[in-house]
Amino acid sequence: MQLRHVIVLTAAALGTVAATAQTFKPEDQIKYRQSVMQVTQRSLGALNGMIRGDTPYNKELAVKHAETIANLIAWSGASFGPGTDKGAPTRADARIWSEPDKFKALYDKHIAEAGKLPAAAAGDANTLKAQFAEVTRNCKTCHDDYRSREYRN
């Protein structure tokens, strides 16, 4: 199933670029993408607790968190569209817009791996752990290259 879903999700994300670029101001897009990253991190934290055994593995809750993550990530690539490099305090590096193909490739990979998280969460703590590692690897890879240390206006 995966590949087809990934393609559909990517297409949906790209479609949103066009739609939201016209609807939302850069300031809104910046706040939106930062909020998505925050919520993603929060849900990943809940999953991490189950993986580490701090909280019991709860399939229903794990799937909900995983779906939240997958859906938000699928939609949020659009918020890095043209013209959203400034407008509100941001740590997005200027290279996102000077090398958009490289950034998009990373984001697409992020969408693809996050898209596999709900199925992994529906298995057991071990399948969740394996896909969690794939998802979180992308956070660091992208932040190293495309997230600045300081906020700028």
Return residues touching ligand HEC (CB under 6 A): 30, 33-34, 37-38, 40-41, 44, 90-92, 106-107, 110, 135-136, 138-139, 142-143, 146-147
Q: Is the Cβ of residue 21 or residue 142 nearer to ligand HEC in the bound state? A: 142
Instruction: Give residue for tokens 């995966």.
Output: 2
Q: How many CA atoms lie within 13 A of 26 on its CB side?
A: 12
Min. distance of Cβ 120 from ligand HEC in angstroms?
A: 14
Min. distance of Cβ 18 from ligand HEC in angstroms?
A: 19
Min. distance of Cβ 95 from ligand HEC in angstroms?
A: 10
Q: How many CA atoms lie within 13 A of 32 on its CB side?
A: 19
| Residue 113: both structure tokens together | 């791996």
| Residue 112: both structure tokens together | 């693809």
113 vs 136: CA distance, rounded Å: 9
Q: Is the Cβ of residue 64 or residue 147 nearer to ligand HEC in the bound state? A: 147
Q: Is the Cβ of residue 46 or residue 135 nearer to ligand HEC in the bound state? A: 135
**Residue 130 burial (CB count, 10 A):** 12
Min. distance of Cβ 126 from ligand HEC in angstroms?
A: 20
